[in-house]
Amino acid sequence: MESFFNTLNSYYWENIQERRNLSDLIDPDPWINALIHFCNYAFERAGSPAVYREAAIEALQENYQWLEDRQRWGTGIENRIFESFKAACGRHYINKYNEKLNPLSTIEGDYISLLNFAWNVADEKSVTKWAIDLIGADEIKNAFDSLRRIRGVGDKIASFYLRDLFILTNQPAGTFRDVYLLQPIDVWTERAAKVLLNNTHETKRQCAQALIDLENELGLFRGVSNIGFWVLGAEIVDGISTYIEAVKAISERNRINLRNIVMRQITEEREWLMFLESLLP
């Protein structure tokens, strides 16, 4: 089972995040690149148009040179970026901006914008370097709580971002506090955890602990089962029932059943490819 999860993990980094290290994001100079990277996480909310992430990245890239002078903080910076975001949305025929939950939004309230956070919370570091330093200092909860100050960044996104940084920095073996916060719980990981626990009424923290327990038992790096279950559900198996069947096979360490499920998926994909080929003129 260890190799199964490690293969899913490799797929995630090679095809979803397309990243192997953070060397280009940890120094103060490329701090804007770190913001662009963070947008890949900050706009991954259920129901959020995919174009929001693209528009946010476009807005930062369009103002890259203007943003390089990090000494010039003011609300004008936030306004300029958000106006660029809206213009980018317009180019994609989107005219609603979800300002209450948009990390680039400038509206007043209990939360701050991503730009405000990068200037005033990240302590003159890139957001990436700031988070990595807190993880290394065993301050995962501090990093988690701070990220949630950003408008639109909830528990799942904060854990999602910290999990990936934890893995990419290859943190040394040891006991970290609050490691449950490195387990983002979405529909796929929650379904998996509830199968592992044989219970449909568990809290998100209990679901996170179930994934940690599996990682400990299989000797997996922290967060790898989380990624594996997400890839399995979102990218590989066809339908919830097949996913649950696969998780049960993993829970029972039944390699034969798991292999049969994968082979069934391979057969279905081959049939689909044959159909597509038949459509070629």
* Residue range 34-66, pLDDT digits in tens: 999 999 999 876 456 688 999 999 999 998 888
- 37 with 138, same domain: the answer is yes
- 185 with 68, same domain: the answer is no
**Domain membership flag for residue 124:** yes
- 190 with 86, same domain: the answer is no
**Cα-flanking dihedrals φ and ψ of residue 25, to 5°?**
-120, -5
**Domain membership flag for residue 164:** no
- 150 with 53, same domain: the answer is yes
Computed over every residue of the chain, the mean pLDDT equals 90
Number of domains in the chain: 2
- 193 with 109, same domain: the answer is no
pLDDT in tens, 120-139: 888 778 999 999 999 999 99
The closest of 98, 101, 198, 178 to 138, measured between CA atoms, is 178
- 35 with 80, same domain: the answer is yes
Residue 48 belongs to domain spanning: 23-155
**Domain membership flag for residue 41:** yes
Burial of 126 from C-beta contacts in 10 A (0-12 / 13-18 / 19+) = buried
CA distance 29 to 243: 44
- 12 with 31, same domain: the answer is no
| Residues of the chain where predicted confidence (pLDDT) is lower than 70 | 28-29, 45-49, 70-75, 173
Residue pair 103/56 in contact by the 8 Å Cβ criterion:
yes
